[in-house]
Every structure is written in structure tokens, then in C-alpha cells.
Structure 1
């Protein structure tokens, strides 16, 4: 299934993309997509519906984040071998885990706001993993059975805030609109192998990131298993699994976003995003 949310910001309704590419309104059947509403039990209830009987949304308009909110927004750093190399970092021996503020969530086509004082706002196309079942001390072999689905994420980053201002990375990752997510939450049954997905990002029409998830240092199953040794993952948690090479920080000379720049992201089978960067008011 491809699940989505449509409507004005703050008034989104849950929907489903049917086999003909039409949006079906799920608001009469489910409250929204967040927390337990994306658990395996909740997804099975959606599967049991007569999709053909659901109202067709002829003009869905704005597409919001595929998740209304998330209990936790986790990220994995330096998880593509070529990206680690372009930053001059040694490949990590264990997954690097950090947080992104949940308030960074935004729609896949909403503008990205360059925060006040920013000089080094950067882009990162990433595979997002959404948890559908509690995961605590799970094995790598069992890890993917805890994944509800996958989505596209632009893990926006302000590099000066992240690296030059001391402390943890979270403050360089968490500005409002720094978490475009969606357009769809694609359920795991439609993604048999998350390590074979092509992903790319264009900046003003120029391809700057072009790779696939086989370049991950730690695959999705290893990430979920590893994280579950330190914390309990819960339904609705989202994990951004790292970005491939081609970020602005890794270029020579470095290149960062300015108002008017347009980012276009795609991950094989998971849809596309498009954001224009605008200045903070």
C-alpha cells in the first residue's frame, strides 16, 4: 500500500493511493497516520477495507508529510561509504545515532525555510524507515519484521549549526521544515529488499546525489537491530538511514542553499519530492 496525507497544513486527511493512481479518502476509517495508527494491526485493518468503496479525491491538492507526527525522529550519520569519504571521516565502526526534532517534519513539496543566521544549509536524500512493531533486543534476522514501511526523507542540515557551534548534531538538523517526508508511506510488503533502491537528488536541475542503498555501511536490518539494543523502538518512530555522497559540504568548493534553489528528490518505488528554498521571514 501507498499511504499519504492530503490537504492544507494542519488539516490533512489520511488517504491511500489505489492501483489506478487515484487518491482514496481514508478519513472515515482511520484517524490519521501517527504512532499506533501505523502499527501492523492498524495497517491490516486498512488492508481489510473495500478500497473500491472509498471516496475518490479528485483534487487532493497539497500533499503533507506521510506521518502526522512521530514519537521519535532518529537519524544515522555517515552511513554511506562514499559520503564518509567525501567528508574526510573514517567509516564508522558502529552506527552513529542522533536525533532530529520531531517539529522538523514537513510536506514533500512544501518550501524549505533557510533558518535565521544560516550560512551552510545543506541537502541529504535519505531512505526513511517507519517502525510498525515494538522492537527491543531484536536480532538482525528478525529486524525487518518490525518495519511497517519506507519513505523518502530530505534530512536537511545546517552545517555551521551542526559542526561549528559545539554540542550535538541535533541543532543543525532540526529547524522547522528540515524534515520533508513522503509523499507516501510505502508498506514493507512492497519493498522486498531495502538495500537495492536507487536514490538521487537534483539541485536546480543538476544531479548532485546519485547512488543506491547498497552503498550503506550498515543496512536497514542491522540499524534496527543495533538501535534496539539501546532503546525500545515503537510504532510510528522514523529512522533516516543516512545519505550518499554529493552533499554541499562535500563539494570543492563547498556549495550551500540560497533562496530560490530547488531540490528534487527520488527513491525507487517510494516517490518524489520537490522543495524550493526560501529565506526565513
Structure 2
């Protein structure tokens, strides 16, 4: 099952992407205006049942949005693969706890929409990642129970302006939050079993060339550990998104560095989830 969020004109909707086309669901569930509301009500199973009864609708004027368009929090995990940690060449072993930062929803665009290279910088870089969407919230979630708190999975290109992450002494907020510099999608895949996240191949391609290629089983901090750690200091709520970390191979680490430019096509792919595809355009 693949749930999508989209717009027609100024109106927001959600539905299911099927082989036959789009199945609108939100008109049948007005008490759940967004997918976040459906997740809060533990309603994804009910939505899935409705897909078989609803009429497939091919609409060519839809504008895809990120799967959860109104999350309370988007928390990103940095430096979470062994080779990524080694890139820093500071002689340090993997840290005892994950490095975290926050992104705003406006910093992401949707599948098949362009990433925007801003006027302020020509150093837009890609970071392919898997994002987990929280279904059952809580504080102090035990690691052994953490995966039970996931509603679904999606993909993320955690686009970064490399020079702007060094504008301050140690925070990266600026370089991670330019409008539409990253992407999320193409859909939300319901999470039903641990194998969907524990050992999954994750790749990123730029213009067809593989730049990143690793498996989630090699994460320094597995997803269950991330959820347990984050819930120690903040209450996770349904619809919150955790962007779980990117492998080595970003453009800034190539020799010479290769940043994204207008016309490039970036694809992030993960087994069992799909492909997130975006072009690149300059800010108007």
C-alpha cells in the first residue's frame, strides 16, 4: 500500500497510489483531513481497506506534496554510517549518541518536483535517506519497543547547502533549511514488520550514476535506538518524522567536489519503499 498527499488547486487531499492510478481517500474520511490525522487515529488499516472499494481516479492536474504535509517535528540524524563517520578524519571513533538537527517542512519539496538551488549558494548537495513516520507517540520509549511506534516509511533527499552549514561555529540549521532544498516522498509505505528497516539497501543516483550505496544494517545508531534516544528528551507524536541518516558518497566528499546544478536528476531508492526522483532548478 502506498499513501500519497497531493493538491488540486488550493485544496489538499490524500489517497493511495495503485497500478491503475490514484484512489482518492480523503473525501471519504472528512474526519481525517490529512494523513497525519489518519495516523493519529490509527486509521491506516481502515484507509487500506477502503482502497479496494473506492474508484480509481486518474487526475493529471494534481500537485504532489510531501506525504505528511504538516508534521509537528522533523528530526534528522547526522553521521550515522561508519564510512560517513570516517569522512571527518578527526581520529574519533563513532560517538556514543546520535547527532541531531531539525528541519522545517518548507525546506522539502515533493517527488517529481524540482529541488531549488538558492541564489545564496551554488553548493547544493544530496543526501539520500530513509525517513520513518511515527504512529504511536510517547516519551522514554524502550528501544525494544521502539519499532512498534512506527506508522510508515518514506524516502528523503536531505539536500544541504554545504557552505551554509559552516556559517556558525557548530550548528547546521542554516544550511539544512533553505526552502525546497530537499525532497520527501514519493509516498508513505505502512510499516508492518522489522525487516522493512533493519537491513535495507539504500542508494542515491545522480544522472544515473550511483553515488551512495549502503545498507541500514550498517547504521551506527539503528532506527530503534534513534526513537528511544529522541523520546528521552522530547515527546514524539503521531506524524513526527525522523530522517535516519545518509551513507558516504555525498558530492562534497568527491574529488573534486560535485555539487548539484540545474538539469541534474537525483534518485533516492530503497528496497521495499520505492524511488524518490527530483530535478534541480535555480531559484527564480
TM-score above 0.5: yes
Match in the other structure for 2:86: 85
Count of aligned pairs between the two proteins: 279
Unaligned stretches of 5+ in structure 2?
A: none
Match in the other structure for 2:70: 69
TM-fit CA distance, 1:133: 1.0
Matched, 1:57 2:60: no
**C-alpha distance in 2, partners of 1:107/1:76?**
20
> 2:196–2:272: 8 Å Cα contact kept in structure 1?
no
> 2:154–2:185: 8 Å Cα contact kept in structure 1?
yes
Matched, 1:43 2:7: no
Task: Judge which range, 87-96 or 214-223, deviates more.
Answer: 87-96
Task: From the superposition, tell whether residues 9 and 101 of structure 1 become closer, same or farther in structure 2 (CA, over 3 Å).
Answer: farther
**C-alpha distance in 2, partners of 1:218/1:137?**
17
TM-fit CA distance, 1:164: 3.7
> 2:147–2:194: 8 Å Cα contact kept in structure 1?
no
Q: Map Cα deviations across residues 73-105 of structure 1 (whole Å, 9 max, x no partner).
A: 110010011112123353222111110122213
TM-fit CA distance, 1:33: 3.4
Match in the other structure for 2:192: 189
**CA RMSD of superposed structures (Å):** 2.0
> 1:71–1:102: 8 Å Cα contact kept in structure 2?
no
**C-alpha distance in 1, partners of 2:158/2:226?**
17
Match in the other structure for 2:100: 97
Match in the other structure for 1:26: 25
Unaligned stretches of 5+ in structure 1?
A: none
Matched, 1:3 2:8: no
**C-alpha distance in 2, partners of 1:130/1:21?**
26
> 2:75–2:241: 8 Å Cα contact kept in structure 1?
yes
Pick aligned residue for 1:144 from 127, 130, 147: 147
Task: Judge which range, 190-199 or 167-176, deviates more.
Answer: 190-199
> 1:87–1:250: 8 Å Cα contact kept in structure 2?
no
**C-alpha distance in 2, partners of 1:155/1:9?**
27
Pick aligned residue for 1:162 from 162, 165, 172: 165
Task: From the superposition, tell whether residues 68 and 181 of structure 1 become closer, same or farther in structure 2 (CA, over 3 Å).
Answer: same
Task: From the superposition, tell whether residues 259 and 8 of structure 1 become closer, same or farther in structure 2 (CA, over 3 Å).
Answer: farther
Task: Describe the SS at the equivalent of 1:183.
Answer: strand
> 1:123–1:154: 8 Å Cα contact kept in structure 2?
yes
**C-alpha distance in 2, partners of 1:69/1:38?**
12
Task: Describe the SS at the equivalent of 1:194.
Answer: helix
Match in the other structure for 1:253: 256
